Amino acid sequence: MRDPTLDLKVIHLVRDPRAVASSRIRSRHGLIRESLQVVRSRDPHIHRMPFLDAGHKLGGKKEGGGGSDYHALGAMEVICSSMAKTLQTALHPPDWLQGNYMAVRYEDLVVEPIKTLRQVYGFVNLAVSPEMEKFALNMTSGPGYSSKPFVVSARNATQALSAWRTALSYQQIKQVEEYCHQPMALLGYERVGSPEEVKDLSRTLLRKPRL
């Protein structure tokens, strides 16, 4: 970043941590080793945030996930702690980062693909081709939402954004919010207050980010 011969810029793609948690749980079998590695990488000197329901492994065997769901959610504490540090640096950037960092929300990219794409390209002083705009529209205007992990396909933007609200239990959602409240606040992801609020898909949980 400090090399004067380079014009390096950082584009940081972010997503609602609750959606990330839902995706990790859905991909539980493919990511269980990675989730364990993430959990074990946490700083042992930092007090670990307890589970809201200390006597219960969220997403237990009754829900079909076993310990893999538990580790997938546990990994979110480490992921969000790291994200919070990154975002704090971006919020108060050192000289070498000023003007060279851009956070892009996944939600903005799928709801307003052309507008967001043009902002990203403009940030790196490029023009968006008509072919790329068409591709972006096609990828966010698909017929449905695939439940299969690691599959790149055209998706319905509305379904993609709200999938976590029907996939996660209210307890799982509150656990992720407990772990991730700092980056969520910076990125404009509102916390939920009740199970009814989660299920009301007409209510957006997005507000203007602070970055």
For the chain, the structural domain boundaries read 10-43+67-199
**Residues 36, 42: Cα–Cα separation, whole Å:** 10
Question: Residue 56 pLDDT > 50, yes or no?
Answer: no
Q: Are 12 and 86 in contact (CB under 8 A)?
A: yes
Question: Residue 39 pLDDT > 70, yes or no?
Answer: no
Taking phi over 0 as left and psi of -120 to 50 as alpha, with beta for the rest, 68 belongs to: alpha
Question: Residue 71 pLDDT > 60, yes or no?
Answer: yes
At the fourth CATH level, which superfamily is domain 10-43+67-199? Answer: P-loop containing nucleotide triphosphate hydrolases (3.40.50.300)
Question: Residue 194 pLDDT > 70, yes or no?
Answer: yes
| Mean pLDDT across 160-183 | 93
Residue-wise pLDDT for 102-140, tens only, equals 999 999 998 899 999 999 999 999 999 999 999 888 888
| Mean pLDDT across 93-109 | 95
Comparing 43 with 56, which gets the higher pLDDT? 43
Tokens encoding 2: 């400090």
Predicted pLDDT at 65:
47
User: Which H/E stretch holds residue 105?
Assistant: strand 101-105
For the entire predicted model, the pTM comes to: 0.82
